Structure 1
Amino acid sequence: MFVHPWDASLGDAEWQSWIAEGHDFGLLSANGPPGHPPAAVPTHFAPDGPDLLIHLARPNPAWKAIAHDPNVLFTVFGDYAFIPGPWRAEGGTPPTDAVPTSYYTAVQFTGRAHIIDDPEDKAELLRRQLAHFQPDGDYALVAVGRPPYGRLLPGIRGLRLEVTDVKAKFKYDDEEPVEHRTAVADHLTERGQGLDAPAAHQQRRRLDRIGTWKP
């Protein structure tokens, strides 16, 4: 993922906070064997310290790719919006001549996949995932040999992604003047479609942090 200096995360805390806000669904990508395309699997994940916890159905073809090459990529993205050209027209430029762009946040985790097949280890992975997604504890005990999860454990495999590198990108025109970014955020709020509201929030938040971009 290419990241311009003005699109870079303002430290690890920024992307970590964004993930913690509920951005816990992404795309697992693994290199396929020669002659085959990469495997790409959309899935939820649960952070576990610096690692990511994932489980997939045992028949998922991604396991073959992971066995071939355990070095994988996991991408999380959100708060995206299409920005029409006229919103970005500079003074003296005809609105129809302005170039559109996309706004988005993306975090890419590079790491090594460790496959988990031991039944008790899979049960522990599910317990950690449920604690993340259902913190109220409104679910049955996850234990080997006990319903309802015990009978389901053979049908899944667990994966611990040992993260070795993180790239984060917040693409919201931060290199443009303050007035320009403020106007685009207002346009997003007014349009109010899809993820316009969270995209406008990210742009205003970054505007407050960065102000006028200084190379």
Structure 2
Amino acid sequence: MRRKEFKVNETHEQDVISLLHEMSYGFLATKNDNIYPGILPINYVYFNGAIYFHGSRIGEKMKTIKQYPTVSFAVAKEYSQIPSYMNDPFYACPATVFFKSVIAYGKAVIVDDLEEKCDVLNALMQKLQPEGGYEPISLADKGYAGQVKATAIVRIEINLLNAKFKFGQNWKQEKLDNVSKQLSERGQQLDYETTQLMQRYCPHAQPNEDLTQR
């Protein structure tokens, strides 16, 4: 059962969008004719309110999307691991991990418009290679024109967006402060950022409402 205190409210909608921009890989879930549901790690870009990914025009992925366009897509980022002894000197039960996750539900649409394909590929390059070092992708460039036509671009039109951020929102302030202090002293990667997010998402700072985008 999803704990309501970890759901993200509309106050932090931009944090959800920022996570979608930040992450490079997500997991695409699809229906299919096999015994097991389909799931595939894909490189993506969040652009103009939709999730885009590219690939070959032929293959099992494109065949599945054409037959079953209703999909789910998930991204997640792990922050600090919280060892049990930060809260209890004897038992393992309090061990946990703080994280952000987003799940999008929508429809996968194969993009045919060549200008849109160029825009998406440029957005993907800007995300993965922000330092530049290449000519912008354009149909006017003969070196790109054929490649753009041969590349498949899929747009996931989002009908529903759910987010779960876990940073101790179900803890009392004293417990938050105690673990935050220990994280600061430990000083591992992302520990400082975790302490800031623990305070940011404290349940006393916001109402408990679901974040959904329809």
> TM-score if structure 2 supplies the norm length?
0.78
Q: CA deviation at 1:74?
A: 1.4
Taking the TM superposition and a 5 Å limit, the aligned residue runs for 1:196-211 are: 196-207=191-202, 210=204
Equivalent-residue separation in structure 1 for 2:207 and 2:140 (angstroms): 58
In the alignment, what sits opposite 2:211?
none
2:32 counterpart of 1:32: yes
Equivalent-residue separation in structure 1 for 2:206 and 2:140 (angstroms): 60
In the alignment, what sits opposite 1:83?
82
List runs of 5+ in structure 1 lacking aligned partners: none
In structure 2, the CA distance between the partners of 1:190 and 1:33, relative to structure 1 (3 Å rule), is: farther
- What is the number of equivalent residue pairs in this alignment? 206
In structure 2, the CA distance between the partners of 1:120 and 1:53, relative to structure 1 (3 Å rule), is: same
Equivalent-residue separation in structure 2 for 1:212 and 1:123 (angstroms): 40
> Which has the higher mean CA deviation after the structures are superposed, 161-170 or 21-30?
21-30
Q: CA deviation at 1:213?
A: 9.6
Q: CA deviation at 1:3?
A: 2.9
List runs of 5+ in structure 2 lacking aligned partners: 209-214
Taking the TM superposition and a 5 Å limit, the aligned residue runs for 1:161-180 are: 161-180=156-175
Taking the TM superposition and a 5 Å limit, the aligned residue runs for 1:130-141 are: 130=125, 139-141=134-136
- The residue identity in structure 2 corresponding to 1:149 is Y
Q: CA deviation at 1:164?
A: 0.4
Q: CA deviation at 1:95?
A: 3.1
Q: Indicate if the aligned counterparts of 1:23 and 1:76 stay in contact, CA closer than 8 A.
A: no
2:153 counterpart of 1:158: yes
> TM-score if structure 1 supplies the norm length?
0.78
In the alignment, what sits opposite 1:65?
64
Equivalent-residue separation in structure 2 for 1:195 and 1:19 (angstroms): 20
In structure 2, the CA distance between the partners of 1:199 and 1:79, relative to structure 1 (3 Å rule), is: farther
> Alignment RMSD, CA only?
3.0
Equivalent-residue separation in structure 1 for 2:41 and 2:4 (angstroms): 30
Cα offsets for 1:58-114 (capped at 9, x unmatched): 35642232123111111121143321111123xxxx433543122111111111011
Q: CA deviation at 1:45?
A: 1.2
Q: CA deviation at 1:186?
A: 2.4
Equivalent-residue separation in structure 1 for 2:195 and 2:59 (angstroms): 37
Equivalent-residue separation in structure 2 for 1:155 and 1:30 (angstroms): 23
